[in-house]
Amino acid sequence: MDAIRDAARFLYRLIVLWVVDVISLLLTAAILPGFEFQAVDGSSALVVAVAAAFLLGIVNLLIRPVILLLALPLGLIAVAMVGFVVNTVALQITSALLPGFLIDNWWV
């Protein structure tokens, strides 16, 4: 019974975090110029945002722990700064892999 309860908690947490990621990406697209979702092949921009949140989660799962582990000996401020850079790289990778997720300018 504990295994089922643990699996249900994990699934609930995954769904909640995924929804929060989608909302944060959509809010970012609404606020920042040049950060947008476009409908692709008959799918809506919302579907592209959901796919972007999923792909961004996978990219962060793969690259973030390794890079932050390498930055850990440099101190807390270095880890925080590297975290921002890692998020930027993850967004760049996600934007390159997913059609309909466009970021025009990275430095403004």
Tens of pLDDT, residues 1-44:
788 999 999 999 989 989 999 999 999 999 988 889 998 888 89
Residue carrying structure tokens 């995954």? 14
pLDDT at 106: 67
Q: What is the pLDDT of residues 48-89, one digit of tens each?
A: 999 999 999 898 888 878 887 887 788 888 878 888 888 888
pLDDT at 107: 61
pLDDT at 41: 87
Question: CA 4, CA 31: separation in Å to the nearest integer?
Answer: 40
pLDDT at 79: 79
- Long-range contacts of the stretch 43-50 (C-beta < 8 A, 24+): 43/100, 45/100, 46/22, 48/98, 48/100, 48/101, 49/22, 49/25, 49/101, 50/18, 50/22
pLDDT at 76: 80
Query: Which pTM was predicted?
Result: 0.81
pLDDT at 22: 94
